[in-house]
């Protein structure tokens, strides 16, 4: 195990939790955007601004979260079957992050076709991925 393991792990957790905070809240902005009346331009623009800023900020948080995770995995020798499952979830979350950007663009282009109910369900994907990741890391079931 590498000498800085605990420091790397601590900062990895901080950045992952921060990244997920953005992924928890951005779909909530989508819920609100999907509910904005067509004639409420100011509200729509305010929510779009919030969404753009949150997406950009969470993208910045994603980079060190992934870099520190790679460091733990490759340089510090973290291994096990649970790690393969965690990596699969990480790939899913990266995809979810990029889907959020695509959905945000659709709102910007006035091309959203999904309901606020759909976005409420979509919002739960990040919660399930976070819970699954935490269980895999803490319990290491295989």
What global pTM score does this model have? 0.94
Each domain of the chain, given as residue ranges in start order, spans: 5-139
Q: Quick one: average pLDDT of 107-129?
A: 97
pLDDT band of 78, cuts 50, 70, 90: confident
Calculate what percentage of the chain has a pLDDT beyond 70: 99
pLDDT at 2 > cutoff 90: no
Residue range 29-76, pLDDT digits in tens: 999 999 999 899 999 999 999 999 999 999 999 999 999 999 999 998
DSSP the chain: --TTHHHHHHHHHHHHHHHHHHHHHHHHHHHHHHHS-TT-HHHHHHHHHHHHHHHHHHHHHHHHHHHHHHIIIIIS---SHHHHHHHHHHHHHHHHHHHHHHHHHHHHTT-----HHHHHHHHHHHHHHHHHHHHHHHH---
The closest alpha carbon to 16, from 65, 51, 56, belongs to: 65
pLDDT at 3: 87
Mean pLDDT over each residue of the chain, to the nearest integer: 96
Contact assessment for residue 40 and residue 113, using Cβ atoms and an 8 Å cutoff? no
pLDDT at 35: 98
């Amino acid at each position: 195990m590498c000498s800085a393991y605990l420091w790397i792990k601590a900062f990895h957790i901080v950045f992952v939790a921060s990244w997920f905070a953005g992924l928890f809240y951005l779909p909530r902005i989508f819920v609100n955007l999907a509910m904005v009346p067509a004639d409420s331009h100011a509200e729509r623009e305010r929510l779009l601004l919030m969404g753009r800023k949150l997406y950009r900020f969470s993208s910045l948080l994603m980079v060190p979260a992934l870099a520190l995770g790679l460091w733990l995995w490759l340089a510090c020798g973290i291994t096990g079957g649970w790690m393969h499952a965690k990596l699969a979830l990480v790939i899913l979350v990266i995809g979810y992050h990029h889907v959020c950007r695509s959905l945000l663009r659709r709102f910007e282009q006035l091309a959203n076709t999904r309901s606020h109910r759909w976005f409420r369900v979509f919002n739960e994907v990040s919660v399930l991925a976070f819970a699954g990741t935490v269980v895999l890391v803490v319990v290491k079931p295989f």
